[in-house]
Amino acid sequence: MRDEPCEESRLRRALRTLRQIVYGMTVYDWVRELQKERGELERFFVLVVFGDMIGLPILPPYYSLRLIPYTVPLIDRWKRCILRERDLTDLFDSEIG
């Protein structure tokens, strides 16, 4: 009787593993695609707000200042994305997959 909870949790663990593997084979790609779309929108948004940083003053500073609280958390990611050197072999993941 004492072994039952242990067996049950093992079974549950196995089912969870199986579910996660199937998720990885199927829906995970869709989720990444949506994340990619959101990421691109965020990059575009930060570019509009802080275009000055790369010499493109798109938005008057007043609105940039108003948007600062929303955009500051995104700036690190944005810099990494914009400045990262890309190679054609990168395409084997996101751009073609």
The one-letter amino acid at 28:
Y
Rounded to a whole number of angstroms, the minimum distance from the CB of residue 42 to another protein is 8
Count other Cβ atoms within 10 Å, centred on residue 10.
11
Is 96 near another protein (CB under 8 A)? yes
| Stretch 44-73: interaction string toward another protein, x if CB under 8 A | ------------------------------
CA dist 78 → 11, 53, 83 (Å): 43, 12, 8
Count other Cβ atoms within 10 Å, centred on residue 75.
14
Is 33 near another protein (CB under 8 A)? yes
Residues that bind another protein (CB under 8 A): 17, 20-30, 32-33, 35-36, 38-40, 42, 77, 80-81, 84-85, 87-97
